[in-house]
Every structure is written in C-alpha cells, then in structure tokens.
Structure 1
C-alpha cells in the first residue's frame, strides 16, 4: 500500500481554530514530529496548536518551539482513573477542532483519548499490526502506515493529506528536526563542561542505553563493547575525551562503563534535555543506540553514529544530518513493529543482531565521521 493512501476521511476543508497534538510515545518520536509541525504551521498560520506531552522530557524539548502556541504536560500514564477522566472532561470543554495522533502511536489509549476529546476531526494511522484491535476506527481521518517509511515521513504525509499542501522540498532532513534551546541552556552547558574538565570541545559523546518501557533496553549494544570501542579509539585519537550521557533509566549501566574505562570517561547526570543538547553540540561525534538522544544529536546537527539491531533504521533512524548507521545484515533483522507488545527476539538468538555487532565496524564508522574534521556547529 503506497504512502499517502487515505483509508478514511477527506482533507479538512478549512483551517481549524484549535488543534491538539498528542505526543505520548517518547522523546525521539516527539522530535520526529517536528518536521511535520513546521509544515503544519506554515500551512495553517492562524490555528492554535497545542502539544500534549505525557513526560516531562518531551515537554521540555518543545517548550520554546516557535510553531507551538502552547505545550502541556499531563502524566496520564501515571494518573489514576478519576484524574484521567477529569483531564479528558477538561479537554472536551475546550472544544478542539482537530486531534492529531502522530506516528508511531499504535495504542488503544491514544485513539480513545482523541475520540473522548469530542473533536470533530481525529487524524492518525492504520498500522499493519493490531490496528483495529487498538480502535483506529474511532478516528475520522486515517493514513495507511508502511513499515519501510520513516516516522518523520509518515507525519509529513499526514499533514499533507489533512491540509492539501505538499512540501516544496522532499527527502530526509527536509524539514529538519528541531529542538530549540535558550541562551541559559547554552551557558549551563559551558559552565558544566568547564567545571569538570576545563575544556568545552573535543569530546565524543556516548549514549549506551534506551528506555526500559516495552523491554526497549534489549535493543542496545553491550556495555563491554562500548568500552572496547573507546579503547580502540584512544590508540588512534589520544587527544579525545569521552562523555557518557546518562538518562533516568541507565545510571547503573553508565557507571559500569565508566568503571570499565577506569575514569577515562565522564558520566553526565541530572541534566535537562536542552542542556544535554547543548553539551552534544560541542561534541565532535556522538555514538548512540536507537534512542531519544540519537534524535537529539541529529537535531543539534552533530555527526552521529547510530547502532541498530532489532529496530528498523528506515523507520526510526537519523532524519538527515551527518549520520552513519551501523547494523548487521541478518535475515531476521529488523523484527520490531509498531505494536503494543514488548520487544522480543523471534529468532531466539537473544538479540544477536545488536549484541554481536562487531566493535571494528563501529570504530570504522566513528573514524569516517572524524575524517570530516570540521568544528562543532554553533548557533
């Protein structure tokens, strides 16, 4: 089924007064909606665009986005039933004209939320797995999802079909991901680096984990292989320093890597996502699993090496930018699809696709990135 195939509903005949965008799938997925957000604002300059986030990290990433009129935070995943009902009733009173459910969002809860909001237009996707089970028929506009198309491209196609406006420039990176930071974020990053090393450039950033929701940490390269990567690079690039970006789910693994490297890498903890973005901007390269910080690095235009195993780089890989994807050509990989199920290895190989990804391949990718010896981007 080709991308752009409409399953249900026409384009919206006139610019809506108020649009609610439900961003509930994580930091990376939120950033992969920002290209479509740019197109949406260009096409509908007068509509009030409200983003609803369910995690503080996503709220912070969008807080200063010029294309949004308002960013809300409601931790619906942690609230009791009574409070969720109260939140939904409050949404109904606001009388939104359109609710957008970006890709990926193959969950019953998202479709129910859109329907219960009372909005006359509710737009999302028909996924290849579990779509009807997850009540996609509650929406009024549906676009066919394809497993070989990038999430950002899906979101752009949905906006094009809703608005009737096509992009003038196509392809990965058009429009780019956006994570707006502030002068205060930039100052905080500078002070953080100066306090720890006295140097604000010449770093390699490492992000070694991912969210543990739906067992997503199983898609990550082993800590021991990250340690081997650093030891290989030290021999050829003795002047480089290393940061380990530590999230709320991966403190234990980050400290284990630092211990394996005997103090030669610093763990960055307790930083906001925008300060992390500014620290990344000062890195010569970032090496990361398929995670939200992969898309932060791309949004900040940092050279990036992205490691993939069971997930599909064609769907959630780098959207443009200076990026190299490293993965093993195994017949069973990728195997993960947009469903509500946990990540599992259907070939019973214990995720060998990522677990046994050769260190030498990643070293080669980092060296390829470093050969383009340009200073980190600014501004």
Structure 2
C-alpha cells in the first residue's frame, strides 16, 4: 500500500476521534502516504496529526451535494492514484468522490443507500449498542486484512500536536493582552448540537468569578466559534465584565484554539469538539455532559474528569430538553465544578 486517502468527518470532535485510525493505518502500512480530504472547518485537526502527509482542504458544505465541486475534486484526486480510501461520514455524498476518482478499495460503514460506491463495507452498529467513536473508526483499519491478519486493537487515545505557527501567534496575543500563559483557564460554553448540551451561562459566569477570586493572577478565556460569541457575551455580563474574563469566541482560528488549550491550567467545556481537543492534548479538564452519553463520546484522557448526573431522562440525545427543565445541566452547580477543577492539580 503506497497511498491512502481519508474522507474526513464533518465535526471537530469526530475528526479528533479519528486520529487513532490514522495511527493504526500508519502502523499497518508504514511506507504509505496518508492524505486527508477535509472541509475547511475540520482541516486544522488533521494538520495537527503527525501521521498525515497532506491535508486536501475543500469548501465542502454540510448537507449540500455540491455535485460539480465533487466531480472536480475527484478528477484532481484521481491523478494521485490512491489505492485505498476510508470514508468516515455515513452519507451518500461523502462516498461519491472516491468512487468518481476510481480508487480501487473504498472502505466505510454501510449507510444511506451507497451500495456500489463502497466496496468494502462494515455493518453499522445499532444506535442502542454503539461503541465509543474511537473504536468505531478504528475498526475500519481491519477491513483490508484477512481474518488471520487482522490486528488486535488495544484501547487508544487520540493525540494531537500543537501547530508551531499557531503557538507563536497565541503567545504574542497573550503578551499583547498582558496575560501570563501559565495563568489561564479556558472555558468553552458552546456545543454545536444544541442547547441541551450547553451548561448555563450563569453557571459559567459564577465559575469564572470563583476561579479569579481564588487567585487574582488568573485570567479566564472564553473560547469557541463565532456562533458562541453571544453565549460568551452573556457570561461576561453576568460576571459584571470582570477585566480578567476575556471573550475570544470567534477571534481565533481552530489552529490557534488548539495552541491556547495546550497552554491552559485547565479546560472546562460541554461535550463538544473543543473538549476532544483538550483530551487529545492531555490538558487537565472537566467535561460537563447533559443530553449526550459520556460512554459513547468521552474525553479520552487520564487528566479528564466527567460530570454527568445520570438522571432517568438522560441521555435523551435531543437538541432541546423535551421536558423543558434541563435539569441534567441546571443541577450541575458551579461550586461542584470548581471542586473538580481544583482536584485536577
């Protein structure tokens, strides 16, 4: 095997959890070049994976066919003569490019009527009996092996490297703001999936204030995408615009966010992509779960603590609380999260 292509998933957390698959493929085929086709949104994750030779960044949009763009990309990819392609999303459209590019082995889970587009298919596990996502992706590595060749997979954790250029930019930004790198905590109030995964902004505000009151040298950075800026603004307001609380949501690239998280004394987040980045960087962290299941998408790090109340109604996997009370998150109190943060050191 000389050249392998990966079709990346659409979510940051899923991209992080696919890194052990890359590591296993690199182990199985040490002479192979592993490239990744990824949207601009998740491409920085793969630039932080040392197994990846090249990231092919494309303007692929979620839930859009973009037929002409996919045909164009397929023509470009066909020239590289990839021998195998691992398609990580379950959608029909994600399987089109390797099929159009005539890649001989197209490996993925069965899904969304893509018979023929995928020619080495694994059965998709039921939603009731889903394995952790890392194991789900990792199992694809055995698709090219015979039964007696299939390697044994041990439990592995994702690993990311901090981009050097991003680290330099982040250190300069901290210096310009008068923030000592060793004195920052990162709070991530967002979660793309919906409100049922977001710890209340009032709780984040109280936690930020408590962290600063414990040590006046502390600075709290609110980190996330542009979509999270309003959540962070609410935290600032409820914390009475404490000058040691900084709303940087939407003000950093994902590469810079990786660098910032790597510097933090601790990360506190919802079940989100940034949570998985923190775990892959082995940063001390507290991960707050509400409607989702920490058994399926946990932060895979010995330095992570998970807070989940395990209420009878949780996990419901709904975007908004179907019962209207959001007790799974409202009842996780700031003082309890603070105790967990303090126990990390």
* TM-score where L is the length of structure 2: 0.86
> Following the alignment from structure 2 to structure 1, what is the Cα–Cα distance between the partners of residues 327 and 100?
43
Alpha carbons of 1:122 and 1:348: their partners in 2 closer, same or farther (altered >3 Å)? Answer: farther
Q: Partner of 1:75 in structure 2?
A: 59
Q: Counterparts of 1:264-343 in structure 2 under 5 Å? A: 264-268=244-248, 269-336=250-317, 343=318
TM-superposed deviation, 1:110: 1.9
TM-superposed deviation, 1:93: 4.9
2:301 is equivalent to residue 363 of structure 1: no
> Following the alignment from structure 1 to structure 2, what is the Cα–Cα distance between the partners of residues 38 and 32?
11
- 1:320-378 CA distance string (max 9 Å, x none): 23001111212232233xxxxxx445843464423443334323322222xx3xxxxxx
Greater RCO structure (CA 8 Å; 6+ sep): 1
Contact 2:196 2:321 in 1 (8 A): no
SS at match of 1:19: strand
Which of 209, 227, 240 is 2:205 aligned to? 227
> Following the alignment from structure 2 to structure 1, what is the Cα–Cα distance between the partners of residues 184 and 91?
39
> Following the alignment from structure 1 to structure 2, what is the Cα–Cα distance between the partners of residues 25 and 136?
21
Q: Partner of 1:3 in structure 2?
A: none
Which of 218, 223, 247 is 1:245 aligned to? 223
Which of 38, 42, 47 is 1:53 aligned to? 38
- 1:85-128 CA distance string (max 9 Å, x none): 322343345443222023xx2323223444444323221124xx
Number of residues of Structure 1 aligned to a counterpart in Structure 2? 334
Q: Which runs of 5+ in 1 are unaligned?
A: 1-14, 337-342, 373-379
Which of 237, 254, 257 is 2:235 aligned to? 257
Q: Partner of 2:14 in structure 1?
A: 29
- 1:291-339 CA distance string (max 9 Å, x none): 1111221122110111111222222221223001111212232233xxx
Q: Partner of 2:114 in structure 1?
A: 135
Alpha carbons of 1:98 and 1:72: their partners in 2 closer, same or farther (altered >3 Å)? Answer: same
Alpha carbons of 1:304 and 1:64: their partners in 2 closer, same or farther (altered >3 Å)? Answer: closer
Contact 1:106 1:134 in 2 (8 A): no
TM-superposed deviation, 1:179: 2.4
> Following the alignment from structure 1 to structure 2, what is the Cα–Cα distance between the partners of residues 320 and 112?
35
> Following the alignment from structure 2 to structure 1, what is the Cα–Cα distance between the partners of residues 245 and 179?
15
Contact 2:161 2:281 in 1 (8 A): no
> Following the alignment from structure 1 to structure 2, what is the Cα–Cα distance between the partners of residues 220 and 134?
34
> Following the alignment from structure 2 to structure 1, what is the Cα–Cα distance between the partners of residues 48 and 309?
38
> Following the alignment from structure 2 to structure 1, what is the Cα–Cα distance between the partners of residues 296 and 123?
14
Alpha carbons of 1:346 and 1:64: their partners in 2 closer, same or farther (altered >3 Å)? Answer: closer
Q: Partner of 1:156 in structure 2?
A: 138
> Following the alignment from structure 2 to structure 1, what is the Cα–Cα distance between the partners of residues 86 and 325?
37
> Following the alignment from structure 1 to structure 2, what is the Cα–Cα distance between the partners of residues 134 and 206?
40
Alpha carbons of 1:347 and 1:186: their partners in 2 closer, same or farther (altered >3 Å)? Answer: closer
Contact 1:179 1:299 in 2 (8 A): yes
Q: Partner of 2:4 in structure 1?
A: 19
> Following the alignment from structure 2 to structure 1, what is the Cα–Cα distance between the partners of residues 234 and 343?
28
Alpha carbons of 1:82 and 1:145: their partners in 2 closer, same or farther (altered >3 Å)? Answer: closer
Contact 1:123 1:139 in 2 (8 A): yes
Q: Partner of 1:185 in structure 2?
A: 166
Farther-moved stretch of structure 1 (287-296 vs 236-245): 236-245
SS at match of 2:194: helix
Contact 1:111 1:136 in 2 (8 A): no
Alpha carbons of 1:312 and 1:142: their partners in 2 closer, same or farther (altered >3 Å)? Answer: farther
State the superposition RMSD in angstroms. Answer: 2.6
> Following the alignment from structure 2 to structure 1, what is the Cα–Cα distance between the partners of residues 158 and 266?
18
